């Protein structure tokens, strides 16, 4: 088909034409790739984080019940669990033991947690990858802790928990109930809080109100509120990302504009020759379009691939300053690869569309120049 | 047959720097003949050539290509006529630097949508014809003046035009190359093509090949 052959011929010329200005086009592709890289990194990273948070929260109980003493979060009597479990609408009530530990040796904060089914015995712990890194320890090693009485206690690391799926498990340490109680001197009849499940989502607020009535010295924290808190945190982080994002975008627009504002004399002469020898204005525009596409496609693909590697393979080292402070651990945290069509479409719209427009418009202007101009150069 | 009737070309019309380049030029160019436009610098040769070749529109007057009146045709049709009917050889060769000789030759045919392989074959044939097939894949900026000239001629022929238009084709060539150029024109002439050359080089206008010399002065055709 003539149409296809025409495209093929024009593309062929476009490519050899691009190769002529290797330096200029290489610079162009590098800048373009860098912009796509930054935009794509931000986008992939924030989306992956949001998704991460969603997964964590999906598993969270509907209500977490804390005890308040003098306006402060205090230890919860285990007996409260029985009271709560008799309230209508309440499914399961699970007493939980957890807390934070500041490691003065490595100046890091850990989250300590007693799981329902701790697989190891007394004196054993399982630690998150972040902890392993911060405490420079590995499976089978001993890890020292200062107990609440100031004495040094050592635990044996039985397992390094994979942190592939969760942002938070990176700074996690799991231990048995007895060890936890000893370490922090928590009496047998006390726990940290209660996890309360409510089967019917419509009843959550009613149940929370009933709990407050029955146990006035407690504070029910509804999951929806936690979701909001998480959202706030992620929004703050995304906010910083957004600044980076718009910076990159701005640079790109300036750069594209610069491209748009002028063709070199050489390029104009060439367009004149093409027109004189029988190219139509639309053919010249077609060529410029393919030129834009070739540069865009190369830069877009490489930028996207680099961003994917940056975020999902190398744990987004460029965003580390933003992510720091989740724990003092600087979790070298690897989010689960997650990419969808919507993200790619947004990215395409933000980069390829303005660039192609910026390259086609000036050639349109040049292509309307009278072809006889080349008779006089 | 190309017929010009009262062609006038004015640049910057109505402005202080108004410039009349061609004035009331009427001319009939017969098919298959070699016509030379001759005259001093600034006499309007290039301007008239670009009007004949559908590169520029006259300010007033009419042009007919055969029976067809083309003065009032829209841009797109003019481009198509230019591509199908005329082959141009420019004074500065006007090759596109950085790409190979054969690509330069193929360029004017790209908009036709011909199969790439076939087109390449034809371009090779033309380079062969002018004895420069050795330079097929050479970038044009590395060619000598004579080689560049022949690549430019090959490019002018790629769409098999019936009319060849050349503006000062020998200006950058020495005597021997100029004579070679005229030999090539002779060959094209014998193939039945119409040839129109603007030149003030005696090698061109005094050549036995020339059927007709049109003299211009101050934008007017004087004989
Ligand atoms: N694009 C233009 N804008 C303004 N004036 C022009 C333009 N093209 C040609 N002219 C003027 O028209 C006149 C005729 O020019 P033209 O180039 O046709 O002459 P020529 O016979 O080809 O000269 P030469 O032998 O030097 O090539 C000149 O005075 C020139 O300055
Ligand atoms: Mg001239």
Instruction: Choose among A4, A13, A275: nearest Cβ to B110.
Output: A13
- Chain-centroid distance, C-alpha A56: 14
| Number of domains composing chain A | 2
Q: Quick one: A142 and A238 in the same domain?
A: no
Average of per-residue pLDDT across A185-202: 90
Confidence check: pLDDT of A365 > 90: no
Chain A environment of B119 (Cβ under 8 Å): 9
**For residue B49, what are its two tokens?**
């050539």
Same domain for A47 and A81, yes or no, is no
The binding-site residues of ligand 1, defined as CB within 6 angstroms of any ligand atom, are: B 11, 19, 21, 39, 41-47
State the pLDDT confidence band at A327, using cuts at 50, 70 and 90: very low
Considering A27-41, A245-259, B144-158, the range whose residues carry the highest mean pLDDT is: B144-158
Residues of B with CB below 8 A from A266's CB? 97
Residue A247 lies in a domain: yes
Residue ending a domain, choose from A159, A191, A223: A191
Q: Nearest-CA neighbor of A153 among A144, A162, A161, A142?
A: A144
Report pLDDT for B218: 92
Asked whether the predicted pLDDT for residue B164 surpasses 90, the reply is yes
Which tokens belong to A193? Answer: 């809080």
Task: Establish if A226 belongs to a structural domain.
Answer: no
Mean pLDDT of chain A: 81
Of A273, A281, A377, which has the smallest distance from its Cβ to B96's Cβ? Answer: A273
> Helix (H, G, I), strand (E, B), or coil: what is residue B138?
coil
What is the DSSP annotation of B5-56? EEEEEEESTTSTT-EEEEEEEEEEE-TT-EEEEE-STTSSHHHHHHHHTTSS
What is the least distance, in Å, from the CA of A253 to any CA of chain B?
Answer: 30
Q: Is residue A207 part of a domain?
A: no
Q: Roughly how many angstroms between the first and final C-alpha of chain A, as a whole number?
A: 37
- Per-residue pLDDT at A335: 62
Question: Residue A27: pLDDT band by 50, 70, 90 thresholds?
Answer: confident
Chain B hits for A20, Cβ within 8 Å: 97-99
Domain that holds residue A89: 76-191
For residue A105, what is the domain's CATH number? 2.40.40.20
> Percentage of residues in chain B with pLDDT exceeding 90?
78
Question: Residues A89-113: pLDDT tens digits?
Answer: 888 899 999 888 888 887 777 888 8
Whether residue A325 is predicted with pLDDT greater than 50 in this model: the reply is: no
Beta-carbon contacts of residue A235 (< 8 Å; ≥ 6 apart): none
Q: Domains in chain B, ordered, with CATH? A: 2-221 (3.40.50.300)
Query: Residue A258: how many CB atoms within 10 A of its CB?
Result: 10
Query: Are A361 and A254 within one domain?
Result: yes
A293/A353 same-domain check:
yes
Helix (H, G, I), strand (E, B) or coil at B162: coil
Assigned domain for A341 exists? yes
**End-of-domain residue from the set A191, A216, A241:** A191
- The answer to whether residue B25 scores a pLDDT higher than 50 is yes
pLDDT at residue B140 greater than cutoff 90: yes
pLDDT of residue A262: 65
**Whole-number Å distance between alpha carbons of B154 and B5:** 32
Residues A38 and A9 in one domain: yes
Q: How many CB atoms lie within 10 A of CB A67?
A: 20
Task: Determine the distance in angstroms separating the CA of B207 from the nearest CA of chain A, rounded to an integer.
Answer: 24
Q: How confident is the model at residue A238 (pLDDT cuts 50, 70, 90)?
A: low
**A173, A251: one domain:** no
What pLDDT score does B100 carry?
94
Q: Is the pLDDT of residue A60 over 50?
A: yes
pLDDT value at A164 more than 90: no
**Same domain assignment for residues A36 and A147:** no
pLDDT at A328: 36
CA A185 – CA A200 distance, rounded (Å) = 37
Domain membership flag for residue A12 = yes
Domain check: are A31 and A92 in the same one?
A: no
Q: Is residue A209 part of a domain?
A: no
Residue B179 tokens read as 């004579």
Per-residue model confidence as pLDDT tens digits over B46-103: 999 999 999 889 999 999 998 899 988 888 898 999 999 999 999 888 999 999 999 9
Tokens of A111: 């989250």
Q: Is residue A366 part of a domain?
A: yes
A174 with A256, same domain: the answer is no
Q: Is residue A333 part of a domain?
A: yes
pLDDT of residue A118: 84
Residue A268 pLDDT grade (very low, low, confident, very high; cuts 50, 70, 90): confident
Averaged pLDDT, B181-192: 94
Per residue in B10-21, pLDDT (tens digit) is: 998 889 999 999
Kind of pairing, strands A152-161 and B68-69? unpaired
Domain co-membership, A186 together with A118: yes
DSSP letter, residue A312: I
> Confidence band (pLDDT; 50, 70, 90) for A168?
low
Q: Choose one of A191, A220, A253: the last residue of a domain.
A: A191
Residue scoring higher pLDDT (A311 or B144)? B144
A354 shares a domain with A235: yes
Domain shared by A269 and A353, yes or no: yes
Mean pLDDT on A159-178: 74
> What ipTM score was computed for the predicted complex, to two decimals?
0.91
Average pLDDT rounded to a whole number, residues B37-54: 93
Say what the pLDDT of residue B28 is.
Answer: 94
């Amino acid at each position: 088909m003539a149409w296809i052959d025409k495209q093929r011929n024009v593309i062929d010329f476009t490519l050899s034409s691009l190769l002529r200005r290797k330096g200029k086009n290489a610079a162009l592709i590098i800048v373009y790739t860098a912009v796509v890289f930054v935009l794509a990194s931000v986008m992939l990273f924030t989306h992956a984080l949001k998704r991460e948070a969603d997964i964590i929260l999906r598993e969270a109980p509907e209500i977490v019940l804390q005890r308040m003493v003098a306006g402060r979060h205090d230890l919860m009597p285990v007996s409260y669990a029985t009271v709560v479990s008799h309230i209508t609408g309440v499914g399961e009530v699970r007493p939980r033991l957890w807390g934070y530990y500041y490691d003065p040796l490595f100046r890091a904060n850990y989250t300590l947690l007693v799981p329902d089914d701790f697989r190891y015995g007394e004196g054993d712990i399982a630690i998150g990858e972040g902890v392993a890194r911060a405490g420079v320890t590995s499976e089978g090693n001993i890890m020292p802790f200062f107990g609440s009485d100031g004495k040094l206690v050592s635990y044996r690391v039985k397992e390094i928990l994979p942190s592939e799926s969760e942002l938070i498990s990176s700074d996690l340490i799991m231990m048995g109930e007895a060890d936890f109680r000893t370490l922090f001197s928590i009496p047998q009849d006390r726990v940290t809080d209660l996890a309360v499940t409510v089967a019917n989502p419509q009843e959550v607020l009613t149940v929370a109100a009933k709990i407050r009535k029955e146990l006035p010295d407690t504070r029910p924290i509804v999951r929806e509120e936690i979701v909001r808190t998480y959202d706030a945190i992620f929004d703050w982080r995304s906010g910083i990302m957004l600044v980076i994002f718009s910076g990159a975008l701005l640079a790109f627009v300036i750069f594209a504009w610069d491209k748009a504002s002028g063709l070199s004399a050489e390029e104009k002469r060439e367009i004149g020759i093409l027109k004189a020898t029988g190219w139509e204005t639309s053919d010249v525009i077609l060529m410029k379009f393919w030129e834009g596409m070739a540069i865009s496609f190369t830069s877009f693909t490489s930028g996207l691939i680099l961003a994917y590697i940056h975020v999902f393979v190398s744990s987004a080292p460029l965003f580390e300053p933003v992510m720091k402070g989740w724990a003092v651990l600087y979790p070298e945290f690897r989010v689960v690869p997650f990419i969808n069509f919507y993200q790619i479409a947004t990215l395409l719209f933000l980069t390829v569309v303005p660039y192609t427009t910026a390259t086609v418009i000036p050639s349109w202007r040049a292509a309307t120049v009278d072809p006889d101009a080349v008779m006089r150069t | 047959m190309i017929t010009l009737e009262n062609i006038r070309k004015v640049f910057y019309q109505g402005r202080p720097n108004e410039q009349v380049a061609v004035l009331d030029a009427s001319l009939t160019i017969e098919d298959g003949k070699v016509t030379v436009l001759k005259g001093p610098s600034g006499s309007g040769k290039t301007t008239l050539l670009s009007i004949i070749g559908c590169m520029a529109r006259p300010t007033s007057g009419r042009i007919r290509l055969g029976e067809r009146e083309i003065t009032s045709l829209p841009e797109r049709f003019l481009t198509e006529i230019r591509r199908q009917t005329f082959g141009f050889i420019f004074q500065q060769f006007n090759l596109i630097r950085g790409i190979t000789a054969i690509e330069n030759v193929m360029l004017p045919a790209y908009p036709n949508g011909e199969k790439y392989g076939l087109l390449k074959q034809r371009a090779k044939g033309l380079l062969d014809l002018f004895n420069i097939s050795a330079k097929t894949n050479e970038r044009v900026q590395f060619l000598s003046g004579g080689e560049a000239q022949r690549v430019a001629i090959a490019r002018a022929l790629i769409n098999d035009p019936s009319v060849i238009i050349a503006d000062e084709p020998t200006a950058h060539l020495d005597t021997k190359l100029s004579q070679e150029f005229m030999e090539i024109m002779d060959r094209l002439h014998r193939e039945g093509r119409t040839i129109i050359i603007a030149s003030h080089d005696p090698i061109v206008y005094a050549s036995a090949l020339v059927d007709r010399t049109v003299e211009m002065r101050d934008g007017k055709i004087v004989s």
